[in-house]
Structure 1
Amino acid sequence: MNTIQLECFLAVSDSLNFARAAEQLHITQPAVSHQIQSLEAELNTRLFVRTTRSVELTPAGFAFISDAKDILGRTRAAKARISSSDPGHISEFSIGCPGIPEQNLLPPVLRRLTEEFPRLHPLIKMGPLPIMQNQLQEEALHVLFGFTEEREENTAVPRASSKKTGAFALLAKTPVACILSPEHPLASRKSLSCRDLKDLSILACEPRQTHPVISAVIAPLIGQRSLENIFFCDNLSAILILARAGLGFSLVPDIPGQRALGLSYIPMENTPPLHFGLYYKNRSTHPALKRFIELMQKEFVCP
């Protein structure tokens, strides 16, 4: 099994079209077919059902997607570690970003980081937090934005997970805020309590994407409402859209400098701050990791 086979498999599984996969990989269609056939022979199973009109994943093929991604991730991480000291090679640096606020923090830091490490190629990874936690453990990610429920650096327990993800570098203590349309009567308040929100429609994400502190506040509020007054959202982006539309409120971490435009952020009373920062396995996994952490921390210290 080699990386070319895996790249071809993932490209075809994504598009379910051999021609498009070949175009994406800049190789010929027969070359893609050959790599898939050799991979199937090595695994002794069919990964795709191919007809003249369609391509479909078999159950084995669908199950193999996560394995293929994991193998490629580990291979890339190993290559980055080995080649980073060679000035003739690029050095990939993988950053896990669960949401939009984290992504917005990156441009100034990456600009400075790539000036100091000219061969650095940042890879911005997005996806469900549990998957990215596993990728960090397997070193397919070098660093991951997240929250912790503990205050001491290097003893962190990640949100939405009971297992230790890795060391933790604190960036900021972020208050929990209620987000509302600026036109809402409560938008001018300096702070809010749960009692103030009892008659408003609520915008809620699934618990896996919500910090336990926020979930503990939101859960009883959801229980007090009928379904017509609850808008279930897949992610923070959907919540921000509905909040701007004036359809309800939600509770979010108020990360410094990362408030969404077109919304009012009002601090919640009697709610402890969340600890926002960076998870990593150890600072030696990539030569640029230590400097990345330092630059990110400086962003939060500087006005």
Structure 2
Amino acid sequence: MPTITQFEIFVKVIDEGSFTKAAQKLHMSQPAVSHAISSLETELGVTLLVRERGKDLMVTDIGKRVLVQVRNLLNSLEKIDEEISLEKGLVKGTIRIATFPSVTAHFLPKIIRTFQQKRPNVSITFKEGSHEEIKEWLSIREIDIGFVVLPCRELDTIPLVKDRYLVMLPDGHPLLQNKQVRLIELGKEPLIVSNGGYEAPILDLMKKEKISINEKYHTSNLNTSLGMIKEGLGVLILPELSLKNLSFPKENVRPLETNLYRHIALGLPSLKGASRTVQVFIEITKELFRETAGRF
């Protein structure tokens, strides 16, 4: 029968993307990690990982399916350990979360501080990614809970805040004379579109309403987008929360006249199956968002 240690090594190799990095994290030798994976594959009678010199580590289809079950098993063992610790009057464990940049910048530090005041023996690990990456990490149980954007029907979700959309305009732009920018007016504008996908719901709505879209430039960095706006090359659609950590003149920003908002929520595979630690994190996060929701 496979051992828990083999399963833990299997997960770590996939998370790190290589045997060498996994060995470093686990304080083991690389041959020992390779032997553990080979032994696991032999006992299961299937190939879980494909490793070829000079190429990225590949997880087989059966490896991906086994990974989900292994993560569930390890998570269940963590919950057992948590329950035993609670029975002994201790609270310990680890919570793994994922966020996207605007949440990381404005909410996560305070959430972590408040959480660790209440659960000082619980460690928090977090990673940052796009909305699609966070959903993927949740689906394979790589994280316990993540910040997502609604709708997100494949997960259990807890709504937190509505984030309105803004339009960032160059100096002297005619639309600066208006208090708001109408959706139809964007059809006349060269749009700077970010790889972060912030404006995707607005572009979908424009297509639905048959408004022409001029995606003039695509950028992977918001600071690049700001420079392009300042040079008069186009306009940018951005949720308000994402704008708050950027250096951009407020007088060049106008609300977008639409009933469409970015709805930020917490997402997890199963609310009923959440550990007590995750439940505490949810309550703390909900409270902090309630305190600040009126500002956005």
Tell me which residue corresponds to 2:113.
111
Q: Tell me the TM-score normalised to structure 1 length.
A: 0.71
8 Å CA contact 1:180, 1:250 repeated in 2: yes
Q: Label 1:166 to 1:212 Cα distance change in 2 as closer, same or farther (>3 A).
A: same
Check whether the contact 2:165–2:262 (CA below 8 A) recurs between aligned residues: yes
- Could you say what the CA RMSD is over the residues aligned between the two structures, in angstroms? 3.9
Check the 8 A contact 1:11/1:21 in 2, yes or no. Answer: yes
Q: Deviations over 1:164-198 (max 9, x none)?
A: 522423x32222111345x4636855322245434
Whole-angstrom distance in 2 between the partners of 1:14 and 1:128: 17
Give the structure 1 partner of residue 149 of structure 2: 147
Which residue of the partner structure matches residue 77 of structure 1?
A: 75
**Conserved? CA contact 2:101–2:128, under 8 Å:** no
Q: Any idea what the Cα deviations from partners look like across 1:107-154, whole Å, max 9, x if unmatched?
A: 012101101111222232444535544655676544332333xxxxxx
Q: Matches of 1:164 and 1:184 in 2, distance apart?
A: 44
Q: Using the aligned pairs only, state the percent identity.
A: 18
When residues 278 and 91 of structure 1 are mapped into structure 2, their CA distance, relative to the original with a 3 A threshold, is: same
Which segments of 5 or more consecutive residues in structure 2 lack a partner in the other structure?
none
Cα deviation for residue 27 of structure 1 reads: 0.6
Question: What is aligned with 1:153?
Answer: none
Displacement after TM superposition at 1:41 (Å): 1.0
Deviates more, 1:37-46 or 1:271-280: 271-280
1:175–1:284: structure 2 CA closer, same or farther, 3 Å change rule?
same
Equivalent residue number for residue 151 of structure 1: none
Structure 2 residue corresponding to 1:168, chosen from 150, 158, 166: 158
SS in structure 2 at match of 1:40? helix
In structure 1, the residue matched to 2:45 is 44
Structure 1 unaligned spans of 5+: 149-156
* Matching residue within 86, 92, 95 for 1:93: 95
For residue 299 of structure 1, give the secondary structure of its aligned residue in structure 2.
helix
SS at match of 1:245: helix
Q: Which residue in 2 is equivalent to 1:230?
A: 216
How many residues are matched?
A: 276
- The answer to whether structure 1 residue 191 and structure 2 residue 180 are counterparts is yes
Alpha carbons 2:198, 2:238 under 8 Å: kept? no
